[in-house]
Amino acid sequence: MSQSKTKIIFLREFSTFFSSPGPYIIIALYLMVTGWFFFSTFFLYQRSDLRNFFNMMPVIFSLTIPAVTMRLFSEEYRSGSYEILGTQPVTVLNILLGKSLSALALTAFMLIPTLSYPVIVSFLGDLDWGPVAGGYLAALFLSASYIAIGVFFSSTTKNQIVAFILSAVACLFLSLIHQMLVIIPPGTAAVIQAVSAGYHFDSISRGIVDSRDILYFLSLTYLFLHAAWIVNKEYR
């Protein structure tokens, strides 16, 4: 029964995404940016891989995913519809999982057109499919974590713009912190790598599926979803 309630919330949210022009604009911008990075660097370096495409993904996700999640709870708070939803026979967990899974489904939908990139590369050169599979697996783990972050910040404010900014800053920090190792004392390098989403993403995207990287993304996702659950439970 609980799963059916989560499914109802999921279908409601996913259909809502496509009832406004916002998600279409986000998807279009995402495909334009990733397409530009892919084709410009591919023909410049003439390498039969998607390294540059995946290298930019954490930064691009840091901006696109907060744009997807910013309205999930903040808009419900602002319009007062969350109180109405709270009168329905659904739990906070049903609402949280339904909304989060709908955002994850939209992100997966957004990634589908980019599958044409490795197909194009495979026709033009000898493509190693291991890193490609690892890159898309890493993208799903990364998107789940960033969605959890976005859901949490959307739960803390009625203002969508504030939710977007806070989520984007947090995601950008996690994406780029490992690239600052050159200015960080050597003793803290291991700590920085451990907390950096970009570092763990790079590891999986190279085709090396390490349980520590997977555990990192699962832990990050759980941490922020649990925090969002606490916030929403208090709100109700």
Task: Check residue 117 and give its pLDDT.
Answer: 85
- Higher per-residue pLDDT: 138 or 181: 138
CB 221 within 8 A of CB 69: no
Which of 84-88, 175-179, 215-219 is the least confident region?
84-88
Task: Check residue 45 and give its pLDDT.
Answer: 59
Task: Check residue 37 and give its pLDDT.
Answer: 76
- Higher per-residue pLDDT: 167 or 189: 167
63-83 pLDDT, tens digit each: 999 999 998 888 877 777 766
91-130 pLDDT, tens digit each: 888 889 999 999 999 999 999 998 888 888 778 777 778 8
Task: Check residue 143 and give its pLDDT.
Answer: 95
Phi, psi of 128, deg, nearest 5: -85, 110
Helices (H), 70-115: 74-79, 81-86, 92-111
What's the pTM? 0.90
144 pLDDT more than 70: yes
154-167 pLDDT, tens digit each: 999 888 999 999 99
Contacts 24+ apart (CB under 8 A), 168-174: 168/62, 168/63, 168/66, 171/58, 171/61, 171/62, 171/63, 171/65, 171/66, 171/146, 171/197, 172/59, 172/62, 172/63, 174/58, 174/62, 174/149, 174/198, 174/220
**One-letter identity of residue 224:** F
Domain ranges for the chain: 2-172+221-235
10-67 pLDDT, tens digit each: 888 888 877 778 788 888 888 888 888 777 766 665 665 677 788 889 999 999 999 9
CA quadruple 83, 148, 134, 180: dihedral positive or negative? positive
Phi, psi of 95, deg, nearest 5: -65, -45
Q: Which of 160, 123, 170, 146 is nearest to 225 (CA)?
A: 146
